[in-house]
Structure 1
C-alpha cells in the first residue's frame, strides 16, 4: 500500500524528531501538523506554529487545549519574519520545519507571495540533519527555481509525489 502524503510526512517527521527538540509549523491551517509535532517533542520540546488567520489560530488553540498540548506550542498570529530568532527564544536551532499548502491541511489557497523569503529565514536555523518539508497540491514555479539554486554540499533534497500532493524534503547537511 502506498502511503498518503500525510502518512509519509508524519512518518518522516517521527523518525527525525527527538524529545526536547524545537520544531516549526509554518502553516498552522487546520492544526493537524501542529498537534502532531506537539505530541512528538515531549514536555521538554516546543513547537512554533504560525497562524496567519484568526480562525486558524482559534481553532488550533482550542484543539491544543483540549488535547492538553497547549504548553508545548507557541501560536504566533503572523507569518515568519526576520524576527524568527526572537520567536525561537533561547533555543538556537530547529530540527524539523513544515510548510503545508496541501489539501491535507485544507490550506491549498493560503500560500503567501513571500514563501521563498520565509523558507530562506528558516533554512539556516535548521540543525545539521534537520529537515524542511513543503507540501503542495500545485507546485509553484518559483519553488522549483529556488530548489535548483540550493548548494548540494549544504542541502540534500528528495520529493514524494502522490496523485494529489507533492512533498519536498530539504535536509541540511
Structure 2
C-alpha cells in the first residue's frame, strides 16, 4: 500500500502543469523540491525555503546531479517569509509543507492564511506529517472552518503509523 505522502504526490501530479509555479515550504532532505522541479518543466518555477544553509546546500547538490537546478530558486529563509516572495500576477499551483514535531503551529496557520490568497484555481496546499503533531492539528482545525463552496479539504491518514497528508484545494 502506498504511504500517505505518495498518495498526496499522485494528487499533485493530477493538477500540476508544465510551467507552473510551486513552493517547497520546508526543504528538509530536498526530495520534495526535486519531485516538484521534475514536474514543472523547463519553464516552471520552484521556490524552496529553508533557514538552514545545510538543507539548501544538500538540495542544490541533489538538483545539480538531477539536472534540475535552473527550475529552482533556493531561498535561505524560514517558510514564514513565503508571503514576501509571492506575486499576484504569478498564481501558485502547489505549496507543500513537511511538518515535524518542532514546526511552529501558529506560524504554519498564519502562512497558510496568506498563501491561500495566491493559490490558483484548483491549486493545492499539502501538509505531510503525523496526525498527532501540533501543527497538523492546528491547520486541520483552521481549514475545517473554510467554506466548502471555495475549498475542498481532505486528510489521508494511515491509522497504524499515524502518517497523514492534509490536502487543501481551492475551487
Which residue does the alignment assign to 2:119?
126
Q: CA deviation at 1:73?
A: 0.4
Provide, for residues 140-162 of structure 1, a one-character-per-residue CA deviation record: whole Å limited to 9, x for no partner.
23223212221222111111011
Unaligned segments of structure 2, at least 5 residues: none
Q: CA deviation at 1:82?
A: 6.1
The number of equivalent residue pairs is 165
Contact 1:24 1:98 in 2 (8 A): yes
| Partner secondary structure for residue 52 of structure 1 | coil
TM-score by length of structure 1 reads: 0.87
| Partner secondary structure for residue 149 of structure 1 | coil
Contact 1:19 1:44 in 2 (8 A): yes
Contact 1:52 1:79 in 2 (8 A): yes
Q: CA deviation at 1:81?
A: 4.2
Q: 1:142 aligned to 2:141?
A: no
Unaligned segments of structure 1, at least 5 residues: 102-107
Q: 1:159 aligned to 2:152?
A: no
Q: CA separation in 1, counterparts of 2:97 and 2:112?
A: 9
Which residue does the alignment assign to 2:23?
24
RMSD over aligned CA atoms reads: 1.8
